[in-house]
Amino acid sequence: MKEAALAIAATLRSQGYQAYFAGGCVRDRLLGLAIKDYDLATDATPAQLLSLYPDACQVGAHFGVLLIGGAQVATFRSDHAYLDGRHPEEVRFETDPRADVRRRDFTINGLLEDPETGEITDFVGGRLDLERRIIRAIGDPARRFEEDHLRMLRAVRFAAGLGFDIEPSTLAAISRAAAQILRISAERVRDELSRILTGGGARRGFELLDETGLLVHILPEVSAMRGVQQPPEFHPEGDVWTHTLMLLENLDRPTLTLALGALLHDAGKPPTFRVAERIRFDSHAAVGAQMAEEILKRLRYSNDEIRQVAALVKNHLRFMEAPRMKESTLKRFMRLPHFEEHLELHRLDCLASHRRLDNYNLVREKWESLPPEAIRPAPLLTGDDLIRFGLEPGPEFKRILSALEDAQLDGTLQTREQALEWLRNLGR
């Protein structure tokens, strides 16, 4: 990928155009991080770029952005009149890289690099902010966030993922404009939240979302966790918010669904809170699963993601019953799709509360010791067998087949002959 970008830069320069690496690839190289994509900035206009690369993909021709050989190439530009809080109504192509840098979001993303020499051009103090580990808006932060409200979430994401602080005036501007995040499409918000949850520093990210006031607008159900007390004998760590932050802190390169499950596993506690002989949260897992579905639908997550997260939330308390489960019940539990995520969510839940891992170890050792065919064995009898046995199809079929499978999973029935004998005895 770098070789392709270098070749494009060399071609542009050979034709008399300016060409720089720009944005994230420069930032990440200076931080010693892996570079995912190479972006180039140039004074060549889109028409001039197309004359050199007629097969280029015009991913944003109006904004001067083309995709050439896997690299994104953008014409220097200045942006004007952001009317929708996301996209400029008008852009002006520029020949001075300073104008291009000044319309960008944060100083650490405003660095330019000579592709041939590696020399850094810094018009906005981004290199010093990298050294100081600071996220700072370029120019007037209020204007930057008024232009593009999504930049508020990007500031949080960069701070969380890089372990940086947000510069005070930039942080204050986010807090003042936080309500404007509701003007951004659910899909854009979803993508930034997903990156915060899975990019490292999820706890810090959600602390910043809360501190800036963004959280109450994006995820009021999560904001509601603050101050909801829990029984100290089970949760010495404190309220539901603190408990959830501890889960997020312990995430280690999680899948998106596991991270969302950690975030939402106790979403049902605030609405089910009551005090009897102690603090109780009746049916909070079932309530939380329904809430998780509604939240993730609102944020336009996929149906598969919604199903898995809802299942994680709904089943996260079942590990408490594991020592008393019949063999068949435990095996059915372990059939849940992506059961490794259920195991990991339970482990995180325990570590963020009472820290007892007895049930986790019991189920994990059982799950790891059983081959797949023991958890989901081929049925000893089918519906056709029941029909041949003289039984009429109907609701009773399901009950009989389920009872047969339970006996098989428990080890009571191991052969077809035993199952047929069991069926004969059923009618006596």
pLDDT tens-digit map of 162-194? 999 999 999 999 999 999 999 999 999 999 999
Residue ending a domain, choose from 132, 166, 196: 132
Same domain, 266 and 401: no
Kindly state whether residue 404 falls inside one of the protein's structural domains: yes
pLDDT of residue 60: 64
Which of 358, 375, 392 marks a domain boundary? 375
Instruction: Determine the Cα–Cα distance for residues 153 and 190; give it in Å rounded to an integer.
Output: 10
Could you tell me the two tokens for 339?
A: 């059961």
Residue 70 lies in a domain: yes
Angle at alpha carbon of residue 67, lines to 30 and 64, rounded to 5°: 90
Check whether residue 8 and residue 103 sit in a common domain. yes
Model confidence at 423, pLDDT cuts 50, 70, 90, reads: confident
pLDDT of residue 414: 93
Examine residue 11 and state whether it is found in any structural domain, yes or no: yes
Residue 387 shares a structural domain with residue 288 = no
Q: What is the pLDDT of residue 81?
A: 59
306 and 347 in one domain?
yes
CA distance 254 to 190: 17
Q: Is the pLDDT of residue 114 over 60?
A: yes
- 410 and 354, same structural domain? no
Contacts of 351 by beta carbon, 8 Å cutoff, 6+ apart: 246, 250, 357
Do 269 and 409 lie in one domain? The reply is no
Supply angle C-alpha 345, 334, 422, rounded to 5: 160
Could you give the percent of the chain with pLDDT greater than 90?
83
Q: Is the pLDDT of residue 287 over 80?
A: yes
Q: Are 152 and 181 in contact (CB under 8 A)?
A: yes
Q: Are residues 328 and 420 in the same domain?
A: no
CATH number of the domain encompassing residue 320: 1.10.3210
Domain contains 155 = no
- Residue 252 belongs to some domain of the structure: yes
Per-residue pLDDT tens digits for 23-35? 999 999 999 999 9
355 and 268 within one domain: yes
Same domain as 108, residue 17: yes
Which bin fits 64, alpha (ψ -120 to 50), beta or left (φ > 0)? left
List pLDDT tens digits, range 306-350.
Answer: 999 999 999 999 999 999 999 999 999 999 999 999 999 999 999
Taking only the tens place, the pLDDT of each residue in 225-243 is 999 999 998 899 999 999 9
**Cβ(210)–Cβ(221) below 8 Å:** no
| Over residues 356-382, mean pLDDT | 95
Average model confidence (pLDDT) for the chain? 93
Determine, yes or no, domain membership for 305.
yes
Q: Is 189 inside a domain boundary?
A: no
**Domain end call among 99, 116, 132:** 132
> Which pLDDT belongs to residue 424?
85
In the prediction, which pLDDT does 80 show? 62
Cα 233 → chain centroid:
31
What CATH number does residue 12 fall under?
3.30.460.10
Indicate if the pLDDT at residue 89 is higher than 70: no
329 and 223 in a common domain: yes
Q: Are residues 323 and 418 in the same domain?
A: no
pLDDT for residue 211 is more than 90: yes
**Which residues form the domain of 19?**
2-132
HSE, side-chain direction, 13 A CA sphere, residue 7: 10
Number of domains in the chain: 3
H/E/C letters for each residue in the chain?
CHHHHHHHHHHHHHCCCCEEEECHHHHHHHHCCCCCCCEEEECCCHHHHHHHCCCCEEEEHHHCEEEECCEEEEECEEEEEECCCCCEEEEEECCCHHHHHHCCCEHHHCEEECCCCCCEEECCCHHHHHHHCEECECCCHHHHHHHCCHHHHHHHHHHHHHCCEECHHHHHHHHHHHHHHHHCCHHHHHHHHHHHHHCCCHHHHHHHHHHHCHHHHHCHHHHCCCCCCCCCCCCCCCCHHHHHHHHHHCCCCCCHHHHHHHHHCCCCHHHHEEECCCEEECCHHHHHHHHHHHHHHHCCCCHHHHHHHHHHHHHCCHHHHHHHCCHHHHHHHCCCCCHHHHHHHHHHHHHCCCCCCHHHHHHHHHHHHCCHHHHCCCCCCCHHHHHHCCCCCCHHHHHHHHHHHHHHHHCCCCCHHHHHHHHHHHCC
Rounded Cα–Cα distance for residues 340 and 10 (Å): 48
Residue 206: inside a domain: no
What is the mean pLDDT of the segment spanning 395-419? Answer: 91
* 404 in the same domain as 313: no
Structure-block tokens of residue 209? 């979302």
d(CA 34, CA 399): 55
